[in-house]
Structure formats: structure tokens, C-alpha cells
Homo-oligomer: A and B are copies of this chain.
Amino acid sequence: MTQATIITIGDELLIGQVIDTNSAWMAQQLNKAGIRVARRVAVGDVWEEIWNTLDEESKHAEIILITGGLGPTADDITKPLLCEYFGGQMVVDEGALENVTNIFKNILKRPMIERNLKQAEVPDNCKVILNKRGTAPGMWFEKDSKVFVSMPGVPHEMKGMMEDDVIPALSRYFKFPHIAHRTLLTAGVGESFLADLIAEFETGLPSHIKLAYLPNYGMVRLRLSGTGAEKNTIEEEIQSYFDTLQLSVKDYLVTNEDETLQQVVAKLLIAKSKTVSTAESCTGGYIAHLLSQKAGASAYYLGSVVSYSYKAKEDLLQVDKNTLETEGAVSEEVVIQMAKGALKNIQTDYTIAVSGIMGPDGGLPGKPVGTVWVAVGNKNSILTEKFYFRFDRQRNIELTASYALNMLRKFILSDA
């Protein structure tokens, strides 16, 4: 099977100032195209280390994809390095020059400086890949039947090149086997218990089909991956194993597609032509963000009140002042009133209300950090549950959102 390495260049990755989201996206696209990513390597803006990494990785892989280090500033050394590595000369590429000129003239509407012109220079022994979304061109090199592609590190520029040019060109250059994936999401069950539940199934898998456990936000995703020369055969084979797997975990199954919990909730709402709102305290709008993240959200999501203060809870959701004072903001009665307020004021079919203590401080007697009350419901009934999360603030917020969305999912399913 054709193997690829993704090399990411930039000191910022090695001091942790940015999180590498490019590699994950690239790996997804390569897998879909039938290319196995064997390794991902990040190196700094250091000549010798980049050079050695190119040597080393081309021993393991036929495709070497490189991102980053192509900017107009002095810390970007990738282009001259590649020029020397492949024994070329720098020349001005007319297409790249037209592109950079056009961007400054028509989009940025500011004068171009010498430094920007430099971006149109490329080694004369590469095929230039036009960057429709930025000034730095991509470069395609071939050496000893291996392909090296250099792309900018700016995510949307790299994505455009990969989709429009690189993946199609790789598919023409190599013959790829087919990779089939099937993914399901479970909730309410631990990784070990799940592993025992499907131990026999797992042992019985042939060697070209692999099972992976991907725990995340208190849920476990299971993924089957199979490789085969013939698309239909491997797709049919993996589907048959996947059917068995689904049956084995049916009590915990959230979805049998590679989608998020909020996408499952969105699909349910759309199918029933129903709407949802949220009333959030401790999650500070994070559940609203998840529900509105995907295009088309306005079909089912109408709005939210983030009532961080007592006063906002009273004014925007008509939570009773007396209840707040006697029960406290983190209480069953308050989340019920918040849910009722959201249903009435935002006029949706369903709602989610949450109030909790996310930490690291703010614990109260009987209500330690991590205590969260969640209510989900509609005009006929409201269901509540208390949770204790024991992680850091960010993770507590994410877990609260997961558990609340899963409560709503079950509520909608049971609401015939």
C-alpha cells in the first residue's frame, strides 16, 4: 500500500504556540483517497533538521507532503532549502507572479512590496501548484519515483491546494488500494466494558480489518478500517462486520455514522421539524456554539440565553429571585425554571438548560467544583439530572455539553 508522511515545518509547533490542525485534516483526505499515512513529523525552521527529515522520511514513504515555512519572512527557509535539495535554480514563475499581483491589487487593495514579489519565485525543477487563496505557491517535486509536495501552512490555503490539485494528481501518479472505514459512537459505557462486550468479535477479525477505540468527552467511538484492492469487495466485507458490531453495542449506540453528537441531535430535530434553544450558565454559550456550528443550523436552532449572572437569570429567563437565594444558582429548581423561561421566551419545541460550577474555584458546601445540573424538555415535561465532573475547567465545559446534548437526544427519541 502506498505510504505517505506528513512533514510540518515551523518553530511554533515545537514550542507549542499553535495546535497542528492541518495534519489531521490532511490525514483524513489522504485516507479517503486510499493513501495510508504512516508517520507525521514536525520539525523546526532549522536547515539541517529539515534536510535530514526529508532524507529520512523518503526512506519510509513514497509520498512526502510538506506544509509550512513558505511565508514571506526570514524565518521561512523551506523554499530555498527545497531548491537546493532537488538541485534547482530559483526563477520567477509567471503564473505565481500574476496571482500575487492580483491578490494585492484586487483583494488586499494595498501596494505590493519587494518581499511579496519574492513569493512568485520557485525552483525551476518543480511543477508549480497555483494558490487560489494566498500568495505562496505550492511546489511538486519528483525524485526516484517518489513525490514531494510543499504547501503553505495557512489552513485554508493548504486545503484548497489539496482538494483541487494534490489529491487528484497523486491519484493519477500512483495506483491506490481502497480503504474503507465505518465508525459508530457509543455513550454511557466505558472503554474496558465495551472491549469485553465485543472481545469475540474483535478476535475474529481478519488481519486486513482493524478495530480502534477512540474515547472522547465521556463517549467512545469505534472505528473499523479495512484495506483491499477492489472497492466493492472491501466495502461489502466491512459493512457486514460493521452490521455485527452495531448489533453487539446496540444498547449504547448513539449513531452509526462518523458524525458528532450535535449533528445527531440536529438530524433528529430536522426529521421531526422541531426547534431547540438553550439556557446556559456555566457553559457560557458553548452548547449554542456547538448547535450553530454547521451550515443550515437556523432550520432547528433559534437562539439562546447565556445567563451568567443572577440578574440575567431573573430578567431574561424569569428565574425566581427567591429560588436563587434559597436554592442557589446551581440547583434542580433553577435549571427547571431556566428551561421553562427559554421555552417561553425563545419559543422552541425543546430546550436545554445548564447551571454548574466549572472550577477551578467556586465550590460550595455540598456543591463541589464540577457539580452541574442539567434540564432538558419541552412544554409537557422536563427531565433533570445532576452530574459531578472532576476535570479542568475546559474539559468540564465540554463534558457538560456532551452529557446535556445526549440527554436531549434521548428525550427527543422518547417523545413520540
A14 and B42 contacting across the interface, CB-CB below 8 Å? no
CB neighbours of A193 from chain B (8 A):
110, 113
In Å, the complex CA distance between A285 and B306 comes to 8
Mostly, the A contact residues are: mixed
A177 within 8 A of B: no
**Neighbouring B residues of A23 by C-beta, 8 Å:** 13, 16, 20, 42
**A212-B12, A214-B18, A345-B315 in contact; A303/B304 too (CB < 8 A)?**
no
Given contacts A71-B213, A74-B195, contact A190 B308 (CB under 8 A): no
Tell whether A286 is near chain B: CB-to-CB under 8 Å.
Answer: yes
Q: Contact: A75 with B211, CB < 8 Å?
A: yes
Query: What sequence of 0s and 1s flags, for each residue 37-49 of chain A, a beta carbon within 8 Å of any chain B beta carbon?
Result: 1111111110001
The yes or no answer to A302 lying at the interface (CB within 8 A) is yes
A325 close to chain B: CB less than 8 A: no
Whether B116 lies near A192 (C-beta < 8 A) is yes
Contact A49 B56, beta carbon cutoff 8 Å = no
Please measure, in the bound complex, the distance between the C-alpha atom of A112 and the C-alpha atom of B287, giving whole angstroms.
34
- The residue of chain B having its C-beta at the shortest distance from the C-beta of A36 within the complex is B14
Query: How near does chain B come to A112, taking the closest CB pair, in angstroms?
Result: 9
Query: Nearest Cβ in chain B — how far from A16, in angstroms?
Result: 3
Query: Are A75 and B156 touching (Cβ within 8 A)?
Result: no
Contact A297 B284, CB 8 Å, known A37-B15, A113-B193: yes
Query: Which single member of B25, B212, B295 contacts A16 (CB below 8 Å)?
Result: B25
In the complex, which of the residues B38, B73, B305 contacts A213, with contact meaning CB atoms closer than 8 Å? B73
Chain B, residue nearest A4 (CB): B14
- Which of A67-89 touch B at CB < 8 Å? 71-75
Stretch among A248-256, A386-394, A407-415 lining the B interface: A386-394
In this assembly, does A298 line the interface, its C-beta being within 8 Å of a C-beta of chain B? yes
Bound form: Cα–Cα A31–B14 in Å: 9
Beta-carbon contact of A113 and B192 below 8 Å: yes
Q: List 9 A-B contacts (CB under 8 A).
A: A23-B42, A40-B40, A113-B193, A285-B285, A285-B286, A285-B292, A285-B304, A298-B308, A304-B308
**Interface contacts beyond A14-B27, A73-B195, A75-B210: sample of 4 additional A-B pairs, CB < 8 Å, sorted by A:** A110-B193, A302-B311, A303-B307, A304-B308
